[in-house]
Copies of this chain bind each other. A is one copy, B any other.
């Protein structure tokens, strides 16, 4: 059973690899009657595109999304939304030398161990190219969420050992910096670090953080499908992600309950609020209505422009050196993908919640 779908009611299935004629997907379960802004979908895709930031790969892909079905006169019909993105700038010859060797830190060897065959061109389906389809699906989800007042924003919070930390910032400023960090001085330092790493032929890791706002209380399902568990899976499924934490996260391990608990108090308008949010917007796996905040750790890209020890198909040692066009740091371009995955999970749980009560 393949794992190419995400979501239970609002469901995205993707297909295609970087050197196929196209990549694409199907969004099932989007309710009928949603006015869909196709230009907004394209704009989100543009934000992820190679070349969208000068810090990324030199590849230029047109990345035009073609909606095939499910929408008429700008309104969703309730039927599946099929879409395609043509691959226009693939250079398979860049990968010919990888046909019989396995790159360290890549999925070359594991895919071959799994399937017995593999598409060696550009990483095949394990390439981050696939995440373009997630951005399309996520953008449709985002438009559904907007009808419920939900907003999703992510930004770069760490590159190497440079952290955003406690600097005050507005997430919306992330897009004014090529590194997608909303605090300009930190963003400039991060950009300089990425350029230095690139000059060394090396790569570097980082973190993306996110804030989901306007969440109705009550989203998330008990026990196995807790809201933050589904978010965690969705984020961990992005290429190069090694960790996920919500709210206080790993710092909670060092804390005491008397400090950690978010005290409840009247909000003065007949409701209940907390002035702290160490829970990160969830209690018991269910949204509280407070902002959901989480962090995602990305490893440094495996492709570096330096010689690396590896082996070939015959088990003989070889020395590989990165070729092609690659990002020295994935987090700037990962920001829209993080947002997309969060949107997909929230849209699904928003619809699941419709069956919670009589």
Q: Which of B221, B237, B263 contacts A308 (CB 8 A)?
A: B263
Q: Which of B116, B274, B287, B355 contacts A354 (CB 8 A)?
A: B355
Are B31 and A358 closer than 8 Å at their CB atoms? yes
Which B residue's beta carbon lies closest to that of A206?
A: B253
In the complex, the count of this chain's copies comes to 4
Q: Most chain-B Cβ atoms within 10 A of its Cβ — which of A221, A295, A301?
A: A221
Which B residue's beta carbon lies closest to that of A226?
A: B237
Known: A237-B229, A263-B104. A203 touches B15 (CB 8 A): no
Q: List residues 14-36 of chain A with CB under 8 A from any CB of chain B.
A: 14-17, 20-24, 26, 28-29, 31-34
Distance A229 CA – B31 CA, assembled complex (angstroms): 22
B residues near A93, Cβ cutoff 8 Å: none
**A48 beta carbon closer than 8 Å to chain B:** no
Known: A2-B80, A125-B79, A221-B1. A255 touches B68 (CB 8 A): no
**A84 beta carbon closer than 8 Å to chain B:** yes
Known: A16-B68, A105-B279, A252-B243. A260 touches B299 (CB 8 A): yes
**A236 beta carbon closer than 8 Å to chain B:** yes
Known: A252-B242, A287-B110. A222 touches B3 (CB 8 A): yes
Distance A252 CA – B311 CA, assembled complex (angstroms): 24
Q: Which of B14, B32, B203, B230 contacts A116 (CB 8 A)?
A: B32
Give, as a whole number of angstroms, the nearest-CB distance from A97 to chain B.
Answer: 16
Are A33 and B242 closer than 8 Å at their CB atoms? no
Which B residue's beta carbon lies closest to that of A6?
A: B224
Distance A357 CA – B289 CA, assembled complex (angstroms): 24
Distance A271 CA – B109 CA, assembled complex (angstroms): 11
Are B224 and A5 closer than 8 Å at their CB atoms? yes
A-B contact pairs, 19 of them (CB 8 A): A21-B66, A24-B82, A29-B355, A79-B119, A104-B261, A104-B262, A105-B260, A106-B283, A110-B286, A110-B287, A113-B288, A226-B237, A232-B232, A232-B244, A250-B250, A252-B298, A264-B310, A265-B317, A354-B354
Q: Which 9 A-B pairs have the closest CB atoms?
A: A107-B284, A3-B225, A3-B221, A243-B245, A203-B257, A15-B82, A233-B233, A105-B261, A32-B115
Per-residue CB proximity of A266-301 to B under 8 Å, as 1/0?
A: 100011101000111011111111000001011111
Are A297 and B4 closer than 8 Å at their CB atoms? no
